[in-house]
Chain A
Amino acid sequence: MADTSNADQGEFPISITVEFTGGLELLFGNERKHKVVLPARLEDGSRPNISYLLKYLVNNLMKDQRIDMFIMEDNVRPGILVLINDADWELEGEETYELQQGDNIVFVSTLHGG
């Protein structure tokens, strides 16, 4: 829950877009694009980062019960690229990246067919 007092400091909830491709959308009700609103600050006062987003997605958006098709060892499973505003998340600090208003986060599962 967002702390309402933060609103006084001009801290609005963070609206972001989350997209799934490469077959990952099948785990999320076959919807590719999702609007997600996160609190500006978490209970411990920190800002929501990618780590928080992953838990949020599993608890709120994921329809399939096979969680290990998305998350393994508290991180995205091998074979999934996380893109933050069209750049590999490794260029942005990976799971510690703090989400900004309007961010576009894409989860891409690698394909192997040919």
Chain B
Amino acid sequence: MLTISMGSPDQVCASLRAQIIVAEAQLAGLKRDLANAEQAARSETATIAETQHEEDQNGEERRWPLLQEEYKRYGRQMIVSQVGLKGQLKLRSAKVLLVGAGGLGCPAAQYLAGAGVGTIGLIDGDTVEVSNLHRQVLHRTKNVGKYKVDSAIESLRELNPHPTYIAHRTHLTPEEAPTIFKDYDLILDCTDNPATRYLISDTAVLLGKPLVSASALRTEGQLMVLNNPPRPPGDKTGGPCYRCVFPKPPPADSVVSCADGGILGPVVGTMGVLQALEAIKVITAPEVDGGSNSTTASPRDPPYLHIFSAYSSPLFRTIRLRSRRVNCAVCSAEPTVTLDTIRSGSMDYVFFCGSANLPSLLGPEERISAREYNQRHPNVTSDSSQLHTIIDVRDETQFGICSLQNSINIPISNILSSSYPTALQKADDEQQAAQVPSWLPSEVASSESTNPIYVVCRLGNDSQIVVKKMKELGLDQHGKRFIGDIRGGLRSWKEQVDSSWPEY
């Protein structure tokens, strides 16, 4: 208990310092005692376990397949009829691989470790970043910079020391995927890009492993259990694979990442938790006793896609999926993708999915650097030669986080969604009116003005699209008016001009 003596502020401080020293000494003593007590408890547990083991070997006593501590630890889930002792033992002997230790992988691994899955492998080549922490719940602030798999396993061990944890500090590659997957019974796809998703599904199918696949973006998530049951390619009773559902990858420029689109922590968390749940269901499912007569054995569950939408009601909807595709490139009777084509690289996943690297749409004369823009227009001025327009084409939400002084916000979605007749379709006298799109403030669109227009966005991609569009509309008055973008967007503004700029 702290006592604050009356006296001068100096005396109060001195007294508090003295009390803190005493309290810290007491705390240190308690920590020592605890460490000793824990040591003693550990050796006692080990002795008990050894004794049990000996008894098991001697066969003298009834066998207890789990440790005393495990009965307590897993008791609440073991008394659920769908699990039971049998299910718990299946969990203990299960080997689960999670590809990705991020927003999906963290909660999924947490629940699987908690549930007592015997072997948990994690594969991820990334390191923890501050921007991960709001959703990747196994990582701690102190572990920023550390490999995600090491950070995750550190947390998992604190949660449950029993499972064997295996760290694969690498991004999944086609060369290694078959070798890594073969040691596991079940795969969880917790990744964030189409190329890896196809690789995971293909490898899982060809090695006969069921796959729990999830994804999330902004306020929505999706979940599927694929290749369940995991029958060989050509066996129609097996569950569909990722390629059965999506035979062709989406165009690369339609793929939005969490970094670009945003993601709510509990949304991706929900999907990760559901992956763990589906994994537990697959592992503890009663055997389908098909024996040799596999044609009569029906899939345990018809294939479903579960869609979660945080701002819709109902929150979840479940969609019946197709069964295996007869001409599937992987799981049909005539597969074109095999373990050999994966390993050798002749199945090129990056090429298959394409890449969204935007080609530069504008010439160098149409772009200026952030530094140059700042030099040309250093500050607000009434000098008309300095007058210019700076248009920020990020969405309203991002503009609301931070924006350049005097910039006006016209989200690119407004620009791309407005329909307007092109000048060619209109009679000459109407041409002028037709050329001014509704999204552009009239003073900016005025044909009297030749003040330059600059377009800026977060990274310098959308701004190019908008500049191109504005020129197509003739707003540059056949070259009399400069319209250009800021190369590298607001990120380069931070690098070159204003280091205090908040980068989100």
Of all chain A residues, the one with the shortest Cβ separation from B395 is: A26
**B470 in the interface, Cβ–Cβ < 8 Å?**
no
| A113/B261 in contact, CB under 8 A | yes
Q: How far is the CB of A111 from chain B (nearest CB, A)?
A: 4
| B257/A113 in contact, CB under 8 A | yes
**B62 in the interface, Cβ–Cβ < 8 Å?**
no
CA distance A64 to B465 in the complex (A): 14
**A102 in the interface, Cβ–Cβ < 8 Å?**
no
| A113/B197 in contact, CB under 8 A | no
Across the interface, which residues of B come within 8 angstroms of A26, CB to CB? 413
Within 8 A of B (CB), among A10-54: 21-23, 26, 29, 32
**B103 in the interface, Cβ–Cβ < 8 Å?**
yes
Across the interface, which residues of B come within 8 angstroms of A64, CB to CB? 413, 416-417
Across the interface, which residues of A come within 8 angstroms of B247, CB to CB? 78
| A91/B320 in contact, CB under 8 A | yes
Give B contacts to A, CB under 8 Å.
Answer: 100, 102-105, 189-194, 197, 214-218, 220-222, 245-251, 254-258, 261, 263, 268, 271, 305, 307, 309, 312, 317-322, 413, 416-417, 419
CA distance A79 to B222 in the complex (A): 13
Q: How far is the CB of A21 from chain B (nearest CB, A)?
A: 6
Chain A 92-111, CB-CB to B under 8 Å as 1, else 0, gives 00000000000000101111
| A65/B417 in contact, CB under 8 A | yes
Of all chain A residues, the one with the shortest Cβ separation from B419 is: A65
- Chain A interface size range: 20 to 34
CA distance A78 to B246 in the complex (A): 7
CA distance A91 to B197 in the complex (A): 24
Give A contacts to B, CB under 8 Å.
Answer: 21-23, 26, 29, 32, 63-66, 68-69, 72, 77-81, 83, 86-88, 90-91, 106, 108-114
| A111/B215 in contact, CB under 8 A | yes
CA distance A22 to B312 in the complex (A): 12
Across the interface, which residues of B come within 8 angstroms of A112, CB to CB? 192-194, 197, 215, 217, 255-257
| B251/A111 in contact, CB under 8 A | no
Across the interface, which residues of B come within 8 angstroms of A66, CB to CB? 416
Contact of A113 among B248, B268, B309, B321 (CB under 8 A): B268
Q: How far is the CB of B457 from chain A (nearest CB, A)?
A: 16
CA distance A80 to B247 in the complex (A): 11
Contact of A88 among B104, B193, B216, B319 (CB under 8 A): B319
Of all chain A residues, the one with the shortest Cβ separation from B415 is: A65
- Besides A23-B218, A64-B417, 6 other CB < 8 A contacts? A79-B194, A79-B251, A86-B317, A112-B256, A114-B103, A114-B104
CA distance A86 to B320 in the complex (A): 7
| A79/B249 in contact, CB under 8 A | yes
CA distance A1 to B104 in the complex (A): 49
